Each structure stands twice: as C-alpha cells, then as structure tokens.
Amino acid sequence: VVSGQKIWISTARVANKVLLLARTTPLDKVKKKTDGLSLFYTDFDRKKIEVREIPKMGRHAVDSNMVYFDNVEIPATDLIGREGDGFKQILHGMNPERILVAAEAIGIGRAALGKASKYARERVVFGRPIGQNQGIQHPLAQAWMQLEAANLMVYKAATLYDKGEECGVESNAAKYLAGEAAFHACQTAMMSMGGMGFAKEYHVERYLRESFIPRIAPISPHLIMNYIAERVLDLPRSY
C-alpha cells in the first residue's frame, strides 16, 4: 500500500503504467538509506492516483505533473527483481538516461548554430554579410568547439556503457558538458541573429528554452559537480 508524492513526473496524464520506487523497509531498519527500496512496474490508475499538471516554459511535447498516491494498493506480482534492491536496479537506467539527455543537448546546440550560421551568411548589413565580421564568427566558432568537445565525452560514456563497463563518471560529465555547451550555443546563436533570434519564425528562442531541460534534469549541474568532486577528486562528502 503506497502513500507519497512526487513532483515533475513526465506523461502522467497519458501513461497507463508507472515505474515506481517505494520504501518497503522503514529507514530505522536498514543499514544504508538506499537499502529497503523496492521497484514496481504497475498500472497508473488516475482514479486512484491524483495528477496535477505543471504549466512550464518549454518541453510542451510531454506533460509534466505532480502526482499523489494515497493508500494505493499495488499487487506483489508487480514487483521488479528483489524486494529491497530497487535502488540498485534503478541505477542501471540512470547512466543511459544521462547519456541520452546529453546527446539531445548536442542536437539542440547544433540546430541553433546551424540556424545562426545560415542567418550570418545571408543577412547583409552595410554591404557585407554579418558572418564576415569576426565579432560574429568567433563566438559561433567557440560554441561549435565546446559542443563537439562535449560530444566526445558523450561518445566515451556511450562506448563504456555499451561495453558493460562502469560509466557513472563519464555519463555525469557528458550530461554536464553537453548541457552547458548547448545552452551556450543557443545563447550565442540568439545574440548572433539580433532581433530575429527572438522571433518564433527562426526557432532559436525555442531551442534556448529547451536547452534548459538538459541543464536542469535528470540531475542538476551542481549535483554533478558534487559527484565529480567527491567521487573523482576524493574531496570530503557534502552530505
């Protein structure tokens, strides 16, 4: 019987099923906080689970929601794997999710740079295309290099994952680098296009809005820096 709430649940307005991590052994009866959680794949019955949609600035292709479980019964047959081992199981999905979101960020950044470069080639001011000015060229070139360097980390993480090797550090680093590079590329593209960067017709304003998602989710840049500082550089834990 599950009670609890969670914010930012994608597609809860349309989903038929939910992957749910719930505490099944109380905190005072486990050695580690991550023990005693169990994973379920169960029916998402909106008659029993309350869903409230969150109005938001982008990512309109999917709904985002707050969900509330109040004594919702879940059959034991919907348990995935072993009771109490849910956290270890859900970790398997977290690295590929980071790699996927990083790759998405690279795509958004490349799309923005493509639009800005085209604009800079075609837009003529005072008798010459604005793209002939190094003040326009350099920021775009810099954004391209940052994006492609981040993409190498995405491929490194994906290669390790495909080989079944440990890839937590690389997946987190890829998500961080790609998210930041994409945001920078979108912002640079927008500023290179002047007023037209702001116009919906050119889509760059939309890419800029979308670039915030791979920065914020599924883990924030700050928590990735904590992870790298503590797991790679062996600095004292912040929690």
The least CB distance from residue 129 to ligand FAD, in Å, is 37
The answer to whether residues 238 and 226 touch, using CB atoms and an 8 Å cutoff, is yes
Per the structure block, which two tokens stand in for 41? 């794949």
The least CB distance from residue 145 to ligand FAD, in Å, is 26
Per the structure block, which two tokens stand in for 181? 């590079």
Site residues, ligand FAD (CB under 6 A) = 8-10, 56, 59, 64, 213, 216-220, 222-223, 226, 238
Instruction: Choose between 134 and 238: whose C-beta lies nearer to ligand FAD.
Output: 238
Torsion of CA 188, 194, 195, 196, to 10 degrees: -70
Task: Give the list of residues 6+ apart from residue 171 with CB closer than 8 angstroms, or none.
Answer: 94, 95, 96, 98, 99, 102, 157, 161
In the complex, residue closest to ligand FAD by CB: 220
Closest CA to 217 of 61, 55, 104: 104
Instruction: Choose between 10 and 137: whose C-beta lies nearer to ligand FAD.
Output: 10
The least CB distance from residue 225 to ligand FAD, in Å, is 8
Instruction: Choose between 3 and 220: whose C-beta lies nearer to ligand FAD.
Output: 220
Instruction: Choose between 23 and 123: whose C-beta lies nearer to ligand FAD.
Output: 23
The least CB distance from residue 87 to ligand FAD, in Å, is 14
Query: Taking the CB of residue 136, how many other CB atoms lie within 10 A of it?
Result: 21
